[in-house]
Amino acid sequence: MNDIVWLVSYPRSGNTWLRFLIANIQHPETDVNYRSIDELVPDWHQKDHKWQPDESFDWSPVAIKSHWIYVPNYDKVIYLYRDPRDVVLSCYHFSQGDWDIRFEGTFDEYLRKVFILGGRYGRWDRHVYFWASGKSGIPFILIKYEDLWQHLYREVKRIIDFLGIKVRSATEVQAAIDKSDFNELEKIRARDGVHPKKKGLRGRPGGWRENLTEKQKDLIWEKFGKTMEKLGYSKGGIK
């Protein structure tokens, strides 16, 4: 049976970007796009995907996306986390896309009634702290979204080492990074006609500074500040 590595994160923390990076590293000759990604790095939450843990793949390890904080299947985990102030903005804008079920309310209502109380996947701080505390008993690495953005090659190398993927050269790693660039992913999405009306913010960290009111910033810090500090965030940004 193939080795399985789970890509776990709270929603809107950069998991799709991570999936493309891994797919482009493992399958350098493949056209990795928004349709093939679900075959190359399956999504546990896709209703129409028939993937099962005992399914045969032609490569190993197989990376699987999940937003659940923990399921018994987890035996090796890459946990990706992101500043919750950017996460909540991305979650809200995503909820305003052209979906069958949308959040019908203001951002402030979403922040207070969904994000802080905890939606389908629970509260952000509990989700992240479960893994950051190191008490899971499962082999894992933590990847900070902001580090992935600022030190991409270094963090990708950490991921490659954890996965045990053999790469021939630094050039091969850089090629996978280039193919997974945000601008390239936007071109691919437009080409394939996938989620053409999906709303969201750009991937650059720190958008919360201009998009949150002081009251909203204070509320998030009041609720999640202790956990945020442990992860290297400060009330004004990153330490």
Domains defined for the chain, CATH in brackets: 4-238 (3.40.50.300)
Chain-centroid distance of CA 9 in Å reads 5
Contact 238, 146 (CB under 8 A): yes
How far does the chain reach from its first CA to its final CA, in angstroms?
A: 43
Q: If pLDDT is split at 50, 70 and 90, which confidence band does 53 have?
A: low
The pTM score is 0.91
- Picking from 27-36, 37-46, 54-63, 129-138, which range would have the lowest pLDDT averaged per residue? 54-63
**pLDDT grade for 190, boundaries at 50, 70 and 90:** confident
Query: How high is the pLDDT of residue 201?
Result: 47
**What confidence tens digit (pLDDT) does each residue in 117-164 have?**
998 899 999 999 999 999 889 999 999 999 999 999 999 999 999 999
